Amino acid sequence: MTKLGASIAEESTDQDLGSLTKQDLGSILAPVRKEMDLVEKFLQTNLVDDSPFVADLLTQIFQAGGKRIRPGLVLLSAKATSAEEVGSLQIILSVLTELIHTASLVHDDVIDQAGLRRGKETVNRKWNDKLAVLVGDLLFAQASICLARLMNPAIVGIYGQVLGDLCAGELVQMRQKYITTVNWDNYVHKSVCKTASLFAAGCKSAAILNHKDDQIVQAMHDYGLNLGICFQIVDDLLDVTATEVQLGKPAGSDLAQGVITAPALFVLERQNDKAKRLEQLIAKREVSTEEGISEALSIIKSEGGVESTIALAQSYAQKCHQSLELLPASDYRQSLSMLVDFMCTRTG
C-alpha cells in the first residue's frame, strides 16, 4: 500500500493522509486492451485528410502520447453495463471523446501560450497560433463526423453540451484570474465545465448506446462527473507538487498565471497572516515572478493546502465508488473502481 499523500505529492508532509493502492493504468485498462488498440489505430491512421501535411500533423499529435483515460473510460463503461461485445458504435464514441479532448488541449495551449505538452513541443510553439487554432477546429470537425455516425440525437445533445461547457469553463477561468475571494461553488463549476462534463458524457453515452435504463444511465453519468471533478482537483494539486518531468509541462504555472485552484483556495480561506501574504502575492501579480511563485507555493505547502486538497479529491472519489454499486460485479466494474484510485494516486 502506498500513502495517498506520498504518491500524489512527493514533496508533501509526512502526515498520515490515508492509504490507497497505487494503481497502474496499463493493468486497469487490460480488460479492454483489444478495443483500446482499435481506438489507437483509428486515431493514428483513420483521420481522413487530403493534405499529406495535415495528415502527418494529426498523426504526430496522436503519437505524442497521452494517457487515453477518456477512451478507456468509455470502453470500460460500455463493458461494465452490458455483457455484449463492444461494437463499432462504442469504438467511435471512444474515439470522438479523445478527439474532443485533444482538440480542446490544442486550443488551450494557444490560450495559455504553452510551449510544452506531454513532454513535447505544442502545435502553437512548433508552428504558430493560427495553425494550432485550425488544427483544433479540424479535430472538432472530425469528432462531429464521428458523432453523426452514432445516429443518436440524445448523444449529439450531450456532446453539444460538453462543447459549450468546455468554452464556458475557459471563459470563467479567464475572468476569475487573480481573484482571491474563495467561492467553492465557482471552483467546482469550473472543474465540471473544463473536465468533468466530458468524462460524464463518455460514461453516460456508453450506457445509452447499450440501451440501459435511466437509473444505470444516471449512475454512469454521476460516476463520470465525480471522477472528472476528482481528476481536475488532482491536476490542480499536481501543478503545486509535481515536477516538470512528471507533468510533461512546466509545474506551478496555474498560480503563476493567476489561476487560483483548490490548494491556494484552502489556504486563502484560513484568513491568517500566511493567507494574507498569499493574497498579497496574488493581488500584486508577484506570483508571476520566480521569487513570488516560490514563496506562494511554499506557503500553500506549509499551510496544509496539499492535505486539504487531497481530502477534497477523496470526497469525490468516494461518490464514484457509490455510483458503481449499482452495476453488476465484473472485471470491468473492478477496473472502473481501480480507475478512481488511480486518479487519486497519479503523479503525472
The least distance separating ligand FPP from the CB of residue 111, rounded to whole angstroms, comes to 6
Q: Which stretch binds Mg ion (CB under 5 A): 102-110, 144-152, 210-218, 238-246?
A: 102-110
- Contacts (Cβ under 8 Å, ≥6 apart) of 24: 342
Neighbours of 286 (CB within 10 A): 14
* Length of the chain (residues): 348
Using CB under 6 A, which residues numbered 97 to 136 contact ligand FPP? 104, 107-108, 111-112
Q: Which stretch binds Mg ion (CB under 5 A): 33-41, 78-86, 100-108, 148-156?
A: 100-108
Q: Which is nearer to Mg ion, 235 or 303 (CB)?
A: 235
* Sole binder of ligand FPP in the list 28, 93, 166, 300 (CB under 6 A): 166
CB 215 within 8 A of CB 83: no
The least distance separating Mg ion from the CB of residue 105, rounded to whole angstroms, comes to 8
Q: What span, in angstroms and rounded, lies between the C-alpha atoms of 117 and 123?
A: 9
SS3 212: coil
Q: Indicate the DSSP class of residue 32.
A: G
The least distance separating Mg ion from the CB of residue 108, rounded to whole angstroms, comes to 4
Q: What span, in angstroms and rounded, lies between the C-alpha atoms of 289 and 182?
A: 23
* Sole binder of ligand FPP in the list 170, 222, 307, 341 (CB under 6 A): 170
* Sole binder of ligand FPP in the list 145, 154, 167, 329 (CB under 6 A): 167
SS3 47: coil
Is 142 among the residues that bind ligand FPP (CB under 6 A)? no
Q: What span, in angstroms and rounded, lies between the C-alpha atoms of 29 and 336?
A: 9
Taking Cα atoms as reference points, which of 164, 173, 347, 170 lies closest to residue 261?
Answer: 173
Binding letters toward Mg ion, positions 318-337, x by CB under 5 A: --------------------
Positions that interact with ligand FPP (CB under 6 A): 104, 107-108, 111-112, 140, 163, 166-167, 170, 194-195, 249
